[in-house]
A = this chain, B = another copy of it.
Amino acid sequence: MNNTIDAGNSSGCESLGGARLSLRRMRIDTYHENVAYMHKDCEIYRAEGFKALSKVEVRTNGHSVLATLNVVDNGDLLACNELGLSDAAFKQLGLEPGELVTVSQADPPESIQALHRKLAGERLGLDDFRAIIHDVAEHHYSKIELTAFVVATNRDELDREEVYYLTQAMIEAGRHLDWKERVVVDKHCIGGIPGNRTSMLIVPIVAAHGMVCPKTSSRAITSPSGTADTMEVLANVELSFEKMAEIVQSHHGCLTWGGTAQLSPADDVLISVERPLSLDSPAQMVASILSKKVSAGSTHLVLDIPIGPTAKVRSMPEAQRLRRLFEYVAGRLKLSLDVVISDGRQPIGYGIGPVLEARDVMRVLENDPRAPMDLRQKSLRLAGRLIEFSPDVRGGDGFAIARDILDSGRALAKMNDIIAAQGARAFDHNDLTLGPLTFDVRAERAGVVSGIDNFQLARIARFAGAPKVPNAGVDLARKLGEEVQTGDLLYRVHALYPSDLQFARNACEKSMGYTIGSAADVPHAFVEF
């Protein structure tokens, strides 16, 4: 490692590009934004007239990285002849500490012109989106620029052809998996419904039917558990692509973590600003979901859009608009898509949180009488739709085929094979260790459960520690339409840490998430598919 320092001509950067700084890893995690740190007395800083938040390019033979500048006035953090980089930027540059780098004012990424046109309300073409998404994936955009792109493409700012361009550009910026199969099926839900772990039932059912379903799922971003988090209770989910391919070869299915960065790296970066803004526009949803599915090698997809008063989609017209957008873009991408609009009025199953959800899934697979019927029914219907992608299955027969596979124990056997292949973890749903700190939420009056707020229950489960604490969460005792007496248990909250329990309790005190009314108050379920 080269530790010599060459701060250049001491009379003040007399020759352009002659002065170099010694690279330093700051070990500061600035998330998806690259940040460079320079000392305020650094000669290059003074000579170039950078300002805080200037975009700079850090370079040495063949390696370069763009970063936003923070100016440091503290010799303990950084010497005058050093250039510090935040963690992600340091890794991208791929050099050793102490190597000599040059720093210059960065030209704005080329695609910024296209971003400005979109900000001015213009329509962009495929090449514009390619340029923008390339720069996003390469971390060339600052947080400000990323946010501007996300807000300027929010709501009705993109027409459907532009949504296709965005999706196509996101696909091209990522890795593409090839399963060497004619039909590769997948199922996806747009999210927002706690406990909705249908994938963990659908994959063993359709794999038992002989269809290839290499399911990669995400971890929770804002929810109390993602499918990957729940599956991780039962088995390892972080597998190499080679290992996954081997498991799919043997068992037709798998349930692993997507490690999304490779499949749609731009999406990961965009989510880093969409999440703090709670932005989830149709265009961004379609591009994010379909780009990952196509990159993951899926040819046939069933998409689940739940509707309900506290679901992401709250009315049938809205669901239909979203369905048509998904269908249009999928058509342009040559992806076979079957959209299902489902009942999103309340959480699915009883458990919310990784361990509680894994319990529900295993009870369904084992045909346990305590199994949540709504999870079973929804999974069978979705699996049936996937099975109907087989050319030899008649429309309408899928459900019965799926039910036979589940009832006969073939789905459970397939799930056990997949768990064993991925690497089983010790878990016995008949002998659960849940978070030991609990409190109960009870009905304050008699009546009928006429509302369960998906968002608030998810929030409470997160405060309780899920998914970081796998056995924390919320266990529902009553579902929509059930009668309750004053004092009846509605749900129990499990936590591991007292502070988590207190956070959850505070959230419950603001709003318990249950409404007790009369049978007539129960909202109409628009859908039964």
A residues whose Cβ falls under 8 Å from a Cβ of B: 12-16, 26-31, 37, 40, 47-49, 51-53, 55, 70-74, 76-77, 86-87, 116, 119-121, 142-145, 147-148, 151-152, 154-156, 272-273, 276-279, 465, 468, 497-499, 502
Contact = CB atoms under 8 A, between A and B. Distances in A.
Q: Which of A51, A71, A86 has most B Cβ within 10 Å? A: A71
Contacts of A31: 51-53
A61 B52 CA distance: 31
Contacts of A53: 30-31, 272, 276
29 contacts: A14-B498, A14-B499, A16-B498, A16-B502, A27-B72, A27-B74, A28-B70, A28-B71, A28-B74, A29-B70, A29-B71, A29-B73, A30-B70, A31-B53, A49-B465, A49-B468, A70-B86, A76-B76, A116-B278, A119-B277, A142-B276, A144-B273, A144-B277, A145-B276, A145-B277, A148-B277, A148-B279, A151-B152, A152-B154
A16 B498 CA distance: 8
Contact of A499 (B13, B28, B152): B13
A468 B52 CA distance: 15
A61 to B, nearest CB: 21
B28 A72 contact: yes
Contacts of A26: 72, 74, 77
Contacts of A121: 155-156
Given A143-B144, A147-B144, A498-B15, A27 B73 contact: yes
Contacts of A156: 121
A40 to B, nearest CB: 8
Contact of A52 (B29, B120, B147): B29
Contacts of A468: 49
Contacts of A279: 119, 148
Contacts of A465: 49
A170 to B, nearest CB: 20
A272 B272 CA distance: 20
A442 to B, nearest CB: 24
Given A30-B52, A31-B52, A87 B73 contact: yes
B145 A12 contact: no
Contacts of A498: 14-16
A89 to B, nearest CB: 13
A6 to B, nearest CB: 17
A152 B27 CA distance: 34
Contacts of A72: 26-29
Contact of A151 (B13, B48, B151): B151
B77 A27 contact: yes
Contacts of A30: 52-53, 70
Nearest to A27: B74
A278 B277 CA distance: 22
A28 B144 contact: no
A77 B76 CA distance: 8
3 tightest A-B CB contacts, nearest first: A27-B74, A147-B147, A151-B151
A148 to B, nearest CB: 5
A119 B151 contact: yes
Contacts of A51: 31
Contacts of A499: 13-16, 47-48
Contacts of A276: 53, 55, 142, 144-145
A151 B465 CA distance: 35
Contacts of A27: 72-74, 77
Nearest to A149: B151
A117 to B, nearest CB: 12
A40 B144 CA distance: 26
A31 B51 CA distance: 9
A72 B87 CA distance: 9
A26 to B, nearest CB: 7
Contacts of A145: 276-277
